[in-house]
Each structure stands twice: as C-alpha cells, then as structure tokens.
Amino acid sequence: MSLNLLSVYSHKESKRNELKKQSKSCLSAQFLGKTAREVGFIKRQFSLKIVKFFESLLCSIGTGGNTKITVQKLFSDYNQRVKKSERLQYKPFHNRMRQNELVALLVSTYKHLQSKVLRLVLKRDFVELLDSLNQNGLEIDDIYLHDGSYWKIKDCFYELFKGTRNALKPTPVEGTIDENGEPAEDEPKYAEVGIQSTYSCKHGAICECNVSAGVDDERNYVYKTVSDNVLHILDAGYVSFDLFGEIDSKCGYFICKLRGNSAGCIKSCKLGNEDLTADFAGKKLSHKMVRDFKRAELLDMTVEFNGKEYRVIRIYSKKHQKSQFLITNIRNSRITAKAIKMLYKIRWQIELEFKNLKSCDKLRGATTGVLNIMLSMLLLSLIVNLIQVLYTFVLQIKSKAKLSLYRISYYAGESFKKFVKALIYCSFKKF
C-alpha cells in the first residue's frame, strides 16, 4: 500500500504510526535471514550473526563523515556488536566479505529496499509541481534526472572497468618502437566504475542504477527508463536524436542541453510575444546573431535537426558568460520558455545526490583489490543512501519542516544508527 499525499503530510499521530507500520517491512531481520538463506550466504555451519553483521555494515557506512571504510573497520565494528563468545577472527570475516553470495544478498536487499522507498516516499514539493504542470496541459507522472558518477578503483580491475578520466600521460617503453618507427609508449591503466543513475524527483531517490565501466556510453542506460508520461532531464552528454525519438514515440518528454557545436536550422523564433521569425528563419544555431541578439533574453525557437523539428530555448549562462541551448519536445505553449529553463535547473538535484553518496555514504573510492569486496562496498553505499532517504522522510513528518538529506546524512551519527536498528528489529518505540 503506497501513501497518498494527504496521508504522508498529515501530522496526526495515527498517520505517523501508519508510516512506521509500513516501514517495518523495508529491512527486517526476518527478510535479511530469509534472503541470506535463499542466495546461499547462510549455510548449515555458520558462525556469523547475519543481523549483527548487516547492522554493523550499514551503521559503519552511514556514519562517520567522509572517512573511507575498510574491511578492518567493518570487522572491528562487528565484533563490538556481538557477544564475546560469538566474535570472529579477521580471516573468516574477510572470507565472508569476498563471497559471491554476499554480493547476491546485497543486490537483492537493494532491489527490495528500493521498491519499498519508491512506494513509500513522496516529496511534497515535486508532487505539487507535477500537479501544476498537469493543470497546464503537461500530463506527466514523474520527472527523471539522468547522470553518471565515476568511482576510482584499483587499477587491477582495468580489464573489467576501464576508465576515461585519466590525467596520466603514456610512459615510453625503453628499447622498443611501434609500427611507425616511433618509441613505443605504455598507456597507463586507469580503472573506474561508472554509476549510471536515474533519479526520481517525485520520490527523491535513485529509481534505476547501473554499474558499468567508465568508458561505457551513458546514453545507453536511459532507454530502459523510457515510459509514458515521464519528463526526462539530461545534460549535453546525453544528446542523441535516436534517444529523443525513442522518448517521443513512448509519449514521454525530455529537456536536454545541446552541445556547443549544435547547428540546427531555425524555422521560427519568438522573444516573448514578439515574432522574430523573419529575422532568424534559415539561420543556424551557431550563427553569431543567434547567440548574441539580446542574449540576456530567452529566445523560443523551432529548429530542424536531421529533418525533424524540435523546440529549442536559448538561455544565457552567467557562470560561463555565453549563450546555451535547451532542446525539448514540449510543444505546449502554456509551458513557457522560462518554465523550460526552470525545469532544466531541477537537474541539479542529481548532482546533490552524488555529493551525498560520495561525502556521506563512503562512495569515495575503493582500496581493495578483491572484486566482490569492491562491489559489496558499492552496493552498501547505495543501500545506505536509500535508508537515508527514508530516514529524512520520517524526520520531516515528525518535525513538520523541510530538511536537507545531505546535512542529515552527514551529521546524523547515533540517531541514524537508531533508525537502522528500528528498521531491522521492527521497533520504532524509541525512534
């Protein structure tokens, strides 16, 4: 059962109790034990206490500022939570951390928790925005923000996760030459995980996440999120007219920043209520007049690319001191050029989400050379991020105030640990 807007933001005690009741199924000890058995992480001879193990992992990742987490720290935290007779030696604990079954358990946990958060959490600001857009003829159910974040890992993973953001220069190999007779150079190996994410504004959480090599084309991961009545907001790295056509064909909408060298042909142009088509028709977007004419004002244009027409809004970036262009398939004249510009600014929310992941959820790079441990650290960061979304949502209802996910995640400390325990043990009496 998902909460409707009135249920979520009614601050009566009965409604808060309803929220707590629904939260009990998010990450219970029963779910963890059952899933651990299903994936083979718990076997007949098993000395690890699965609930305490999970509690230590989540609390270590979710607290402590932006310090990096190591297996040694997780091991120490686990042993502090169990009885003296139940403590493990480091080697058996490390062996558990490197199991394939742990990765499978974390994947199942992430998917389960994500589905619960997306059903339970609603962001009032964006629900109200969606209502306003619907009333003005733009019928959408959600706004999806797309972007990729990149996670530096050990270069021993280079063959699996090739990176692109490398400032290192090739080094000459002494005594060798290439096919052109030039001194051969050894390309530096730079391993990097790409975390291709789709952020749901309605729920305030990542609704689709794909782990890839850093060199993979981030546009490929948008296709699976294309659906009816969704507005996709993308930066210039996602420009693809095939992708735009796919979104259009599925009755979706998009707003995307164009690259600086885009050169579509202008068919019509307006500045507010003033028709400037006679002055701009036939000109390319790259034309100096198009970029400089009253550049502080918004130009609302119809532009042809590859035989198909799109709406293009010229905006001015104070930061970069130049004109930029937004392309969209929103034709509704009630959604003005200014509204398109303001909608695009929402894209910053996914940047804040990545800031939270890196600063508060330990997604700052992995020092391990073990693949499964590296993947487990990544998945734990994503799981903790979802818990923090739910935690912030519950606090907002209790405090009747707007709260910052980043500030709560960074400073929560002991309060966050209590919330994790409340989820696991299904006890919200003290929270």
Q: What is the 3-state secondary structure (H, E, C) of 15-65?
A: HHHHHHHHHCCCCCHHHHHHHHHHCCCCCCCCCCCHHHHHHHHHHHHHCCC
pLDDT digits (tens, 9 = 90+) for 214-236: 889 999 999 999 988 999 999 99
Establish if 212 belongs to a structural domain. Answer: no
Collapse the DSSP code of 81 into the 3-class scheme (helix H, G, I; strand E, B; otherwise coil) and give the result: helix
Distance (Å) of CA 356 to CA 113, 154, 168, 231: 18, 22, 28, 24
Q: How far apart are the first and last CA of the chain?
A: 23
Q: How far is CA 312 from the centre of its chain?
A: 26
CA distance 151 to 163: 9
Quick check: is 209 in a domain? Answer: no
Q: Is residue 92 part of a domain?
A: yes
Residues, the chain: 431
Residue 170's pLDDT band, with cuts at 50, 70 and 90, is low
pLDDT at residue 393 is higher than 60: yes
Six-digit token pair at 332?
A: 């509704």
Q: What residue type is 269 in one-letter code? A: C
Is residue 14 scored above 80 in pLDDT? no
Ranges 50-64, 103-117, 385-399, 403-417: which has the least confidence: 403-417
Contact at 8 Å (CB) between 233 and 343?
A: yes
Q: Is residue 79 part of a domain?
A: yes
Please report the pLDDT score of residue 409 as a whole number: 79
Structure-model confidence comparison of residues 95 and 186, the more confident one: 95
Q: What is the pLDDT of residue 151?
A: 87
Torsion angle of alpha carbons 75, 79, 80, 83, nearest 10°?
170
> How large is the average pLDDT for residues 11-34?
72
**Distances in Å between the alpha carbon of 70 and those of 57, 63, 146?**
11, 14, 30
User: Strands, E, within 287-430: which ranges?
Assistant: 299-305, 308-317, 322-328
Q: What is the pTM of this model?
A: 0.89
Distance CA 166, CA 186 (A): 14
Contact present, 2 and 18 (Cβ < 8 Å): no
pLDDT of residue 334: 93
**Radius of gyration in angstroms for the set of CA atoms belonging to the chain, rounded to a whole number:** 25
DSSP single-letter state for residue 329: -
pLDDT value of position 365: 63
The residue with tokens 């270069």 is 155
Structure confidence at residue 137 (pLDDT): 93
311: left (phi over 0), alpha (psi -120 to 50) or beta: beta
Residue 25 lies in a domain: yes
Is 312 contained in some domain? no
168 pLDDT band (50/70/90 cuts)?
low
Domain enclosing residue 420, as ranges? 14-122+369-425
Q: 304: phi > 0 → left, psi -120 to 50 → alpha, else beta; which?
A: beta
> Up-side HSE of residue 146: CA atoms within 13 Å toward CB?
26
Tell me which residue of 354, 342, 346, 365 sits closest to 405, measured CA to CA: 354
Domain-located, residue 334 = no
Can you tell me the distance from the alpha carbon of 428 to that of 431, in angstroms, rounded to the nearest whole number? 5
In this structure, are residues 109 and 120 in contact, taking their beta carbons and an 8 Å threshold?
A: no
Q: Mind listing the pLDDT tens digit for each residue in 368-380?
A: 899 999 999 999 9
Q: From CA 337, how far away is CA 356, in angstroms rounded? A: 31
- Count of domains in the chain? 1
